[in-house]
């Protein structure tokens, strides 16, 4: 990845931040993008203090015009983007029949429409250059029913299908599009589903009442576990892989 330009959304924390760090450690110049201007500025500054080439950008992925402006600014300041990671995401819990319009729309706006906006803006530039790699961070919930996660699961399924269809359409232009589907990962999102003390234990143990089997490997993923998978799919080592969905969940979905 030495000398490449990468754009990562959802970069101020969790999986996105771990991806930014890893790509920068491997030699990429990274445009770290997040809605939270203060957090992304602090994140980028801390990584630059370690000698890593990271530049923070605040942008709302739910706005197509904001995304178009973002990509223009990134390429003007850093150079042509050759790697994109869609890691921005939100979670709104609730039973499907009780979800509000606001919760449904907000979830899709970030998790699905945001992926569309950013991928479209970046891939249209990649097509002209005849190369590039995109990874969308989705979820194992996209293919396995989860109680009280209907909006999240549906939005991640949409993002997964979009990324694969995009990959089919641009494969002949030398652009690869893949999906990483994490399970329970040690992030603020997971801790928001339980107390900080019980988040990992609850995920590992599962919940028979919700038909959730737990995690066979006996641990939740770290953000770095997911970041390493993302980096692999972006790298030349995965040069003949496209339209693939790689699950990183410790066996929680039993390999299905």
Question: Does the annotation count 211 as an active-site position?
Answer: no
- For 191, counting Cβ atoms within 10 Å of its Cβ (0-12 exposed, 13-18 middle, 19+ buried), the class is middle
Considering 57, 108, 116, 152, which one is annotated as catalytic? 152
Distance CA 83, CA 233 (A): 10
Provide the angle, in degrees to the nearest 10, between the axes of the packed helices 114-129 and 150-170.
10
Residue 12 near residue 33 (C-beta atoms within 8 A): no
Residue 4 near residue 81 (C-beta atoms within 8 A): no
Q: Whose CA is closest to 36, among 13, 5, 53, 20?
A: 13
Q: Catalytic residue numbers?
A: 152
């Amino acid at each position: 990845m030495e000398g490449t330009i990468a754009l990562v959304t959802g970069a101020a924390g969790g999986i996105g931040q771990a991806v930014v760090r890893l790509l920068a450690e491997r030699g990429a110049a990274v445009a770290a993008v997040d809605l939270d201007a203060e957090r992304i500025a602090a994140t980028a500054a801390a990584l630059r203090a370690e000698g890593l080439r990271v530049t923070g950008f605040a942008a709302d992925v739910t706005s197509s015009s904001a995304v178009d402006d973002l990509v223009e600014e990134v390429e003007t300041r850093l150079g042509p983007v050759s790697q994109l990671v869609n890691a921005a995401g939100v979670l709104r819990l609730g039973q499907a029949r009780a979800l509000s319009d606001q919760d449904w729309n907000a979830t899709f706006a970030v998790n699905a429409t945001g992926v569309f906006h950013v991928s479209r803006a970046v891939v249209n530039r990649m097509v002209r250059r005849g190369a590039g790699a995109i990874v969308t961070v989705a979820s194992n919930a996209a293919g396995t029913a989860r109680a009280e996660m209907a909006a999240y699961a549906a939005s991640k399924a949409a993002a997964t299908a979009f990324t694969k269809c995009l990959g089919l359409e641009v494969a002949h232009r030398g652009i690869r599009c893949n999906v990483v589907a994490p399970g329970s990962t040690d992030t603020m999102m997971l801790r928001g589903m339980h107390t900080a003390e019980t988040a990992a234990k609850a995920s590992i143990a599962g919940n028979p009442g919700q038909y959730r089997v737990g995690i066979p490997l006996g641990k939740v993923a770290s953000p770095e576990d997911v970041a390493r998978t993302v980096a692999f799919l972006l790298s030349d080592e995965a040069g003949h892989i496209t339209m693939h969905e790689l699950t990183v969940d410790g066996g929680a979905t039993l390999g299905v």
